[in-house]
Structure 1
Amino acid sequence: MTDTSVRRVDFGYFIRPAAETGTGAPRVEPCLGYLVDHPDGLLLVDTGMGAGPEVDAHYRPHRVPMAAALAAAGAAVGDVRHVVNCHLHFDHSGGNPELAGRPIYTQRAELDLARAGEHYTLPWLIDSPGAVYEELDGEAEILPGVVIVPTPGHTAGHQSLVVRRGDGTVIVAGQSHDHAVGFTGDVLARRAGRDGAGPPLPVPPAWMDRLLDFDPARVVFAHDNAVWTP
């Protein structure tokens, strides 16, 4: 276990249209990254929102530039040594071009989708000059005590980051769930099934068992300021 800290980075917010919220009304959502202070170098999970005419018109983002967002969290762009994107949509990989030369840990399936899909993301964010990918095929311990776990669903190559700490494990779940309430629902669905509750029951993702095997003390998300605790 490490005694690394996990700090939130505020990259701004965007306005999700009513057609995407399921509530009949638009919703303002944060765009959050996370800094992991590790003895082997500072790691950044997600890098903010990329810019493009179509996404700007659709989501009306308010961006906090990379340098300002990191400064508010007590770091600088030059301090970052490792990058993890939970997935490669525009609102998670927008600052990747500013981090040329740093290894970007991603699932091979996710990178293939980003390169092949015409409307998957903003293509200039993916193979920008100096981009260095560490392509993963499943779970991997990328630094001592720091484990990437595939959590497909939002995208086929979505992944979460597990940080084992002396005072309890932190999971950066990205967009495995849109919010902490959704994570709670899947945890309780799993519990109800194990308690023998009869059908019908919601079916949590298969990888929930693996995440909960790490006995997380906190789970944090990309688009929710709320923190899940057991």
Structure 2
Amino acid sequence: MPGYSLSDSKDTHQRRGELMPYTITPLLVGVRNVDQGIMTYQQGYGKRIWLPMWAFLLREKGGEGRTVIVDTGLEDFVNPPEFIEDTGLEALFMDEALEQQGLTANDVDAVINTHLHDDHCGNNPMFENTPIYVQRAELEACLHPHPLDYRYEPSFVEDLDVRPVEGDTEIFPGITLMATPGHTPGSQAVKVETEDGPVVITGMCCSGENFPENGPAICPGVHCDAFSAYDEIQKLKALRDQGATLLPLHELSLAGKTIG
């Protein structure tokens, strides 16, 4: 297929050495109004919630000064007036969100997709000259989707510099990809070293309600394999219990925060 390779995932940009901390800034690049049940399996059905779409801007403090984007949000959307009234927030198109940070797409050194559903990779084509890291299993699911999964579109990866990885992989010092299959065949979390300690951007669609203080984490309401999704989200909660900070992919309270 043109534009990407399913060959060896080892990237010539990868290097080992001293870990450099990053800052993480969530960028609001889309919003939908959905049922709570799509976040929390067998819980909350019938309750409508605002679902933010985040792109996470990672900036390296020192080292090579890398700028990395985790997920690229929706390509097109409408800001519901009710969302603005309820939250005081307004989602931006990706180019506007980058401009607000003093950046353009050309300033981004790498893109990471946690998975290839439309709300996490819709703006991938903006980064046509940028390496895009995704799990091999997820790339293949996007190219050959199951008939029941309508949210994959090959145009999200066609003619782009996609770098497939397999399993847990450190792609740069301070940034490690962690396979978390279950929500999708190849969803992945992103562990980022910051001055505030390790931060994990969850690789499956969830919010803060998926991680109660007591008891097990709650499986995402949308999944291709509920057993795997349940097991993987327990691992994420265990990382939080060990001191890592979790950034759920659809947590509304991330607005306005910078971590690290």
TM-score, length of structure 1 as denominator length: 0.76
Match of 2:70 in 1: 45
Gap regions ≥5 residues in structure 1: 53-61, 191-202
Q: Answer yes or no: is 1:4 the counterpart of 2:22.
A: yes
Match of 1:189 in 2: 216
Judge conservation of contact 2:182–2:232 (CA < 8 Å) in 1. Answer: no
Q: Could you tell me the percent identity over the aligned residues?
A: 27
| Selected match of 2:245 from 214, 218, 225 | 218
Judge conservation of contact 1:8–1:73 (CA < 8 Å) in 2. Answer: no
Match of 2:56 in 1: 34
Match of 2:111 in 1: 83
| Selected match of 1:116 from 144, 168, 182 | 144
Q: Answer yes or no: is 1:71 the counterpart of 2:93.
A: no
Check 1:28–1:152 CA distance in 2 against 1; reply closer, same or farther (3 A cut): same
Q: Following the alignment from structure 1 to structure 2, what is the Cα–Cα distance between the partners of residues 78 and 217?
A: 31
**What residue identity is the alignment partner of 1:50?**
E
Q: Following the alignment from structure 1 to structure 2, what is the Cα–Cα distance between the partners of residues 32 and 73?
A: 14
Check 1:147–1:111 CA distance in 2 against 1; reply closer, same or farther (3 A cut): same
How many pairs align? 202
Judge conservation of contact 2:116–2:139 (CA < 8 Å) in 1. Answer: yes
Match of 1:148 in 2: 177
Gap regions ≥5 residues in structure 2: 1-18, 78-89, 218-228, 255-260
Q: Answer yes or no: is 1:103 the counterpart of 2:128.
A: no
Judge conservation of contact 2:105–2:127 (CA < 8 Å) in 1. Answer: yes
Judge conservation of contact 2:114–2:189 (CA < 8 Å) in 1. Answer: yes
Q: Map of 1:123-202 to 2, 5 A cutoff? A: 123-127=154-158, 129=159, 131-174=160-203, 176-184=204-212, 188-189=215-216
Q: Secondary structure at the match of 1:111?
A: helix
Higher relative contact order (CA 8 A, sep 6+): 2
Q: Secondary structure at the match of 1:5?
A: strand
Pairwise CA RMSD: 2.8
Q: Which runs of 4+ in 1 moved over 6 A?
A: none
Judge conservation of contact 1:146–1:162 (CA < 8 Å) in 2. Answer: yes
Q: Following the alignment from structure 1 to structure 2, what is the Cα–Cα distance between the partners of residues 211 and 134?
A: 28
Judge conservation of contact 2:216–2:234 (CA < 8 Å) in 1. Answer: no
Q: Secondary structure at the match of 1:27?
A: strand
Q: Following the alignment from structure 2 to structure 1, what is the Cα–Cα distance between the partners of residues 137 and 125?
A: 20
Q: Give the superposition deviation at 1:182.
A: 0.6
Q: Following the alignment from structure 1 to structure 2, what is the Cα–Cα distance between the partners of residues 148 and 88?
A: 15
Q: Give the superposition deviation at 1:173.
A: 1.0
Q: Give the superposition deviation at 1:189.
A: 2.5
Q: Following the alignment from structure 1 to structure 2, what is the Cα–Cα distance between the partners of residues 102 and 151?
A: 24
Q: Give the superposition deviation at 1:98.
A: 0.5
Q: Following the alignment from structure 1 to structure 2, what is the Cα–Cα distance between the partners of residues 13 and 163?
A: 25
Deviations along 1:53-90, one digit per CA (max 9) or x if unpaired, are xxxxxxxxx96221101223443222111000100000
Q: Following the alignment from structure 2 to structure 1, what is the Cα–Cα distance between the partners of residues 128 and 36?
A: 36
Match of 2:14 in 1: none
Judge conservation of contact 2:143–2:153 (CA < 8 Å) in 1. Answer: no
Match of 1:205 in 2: 231
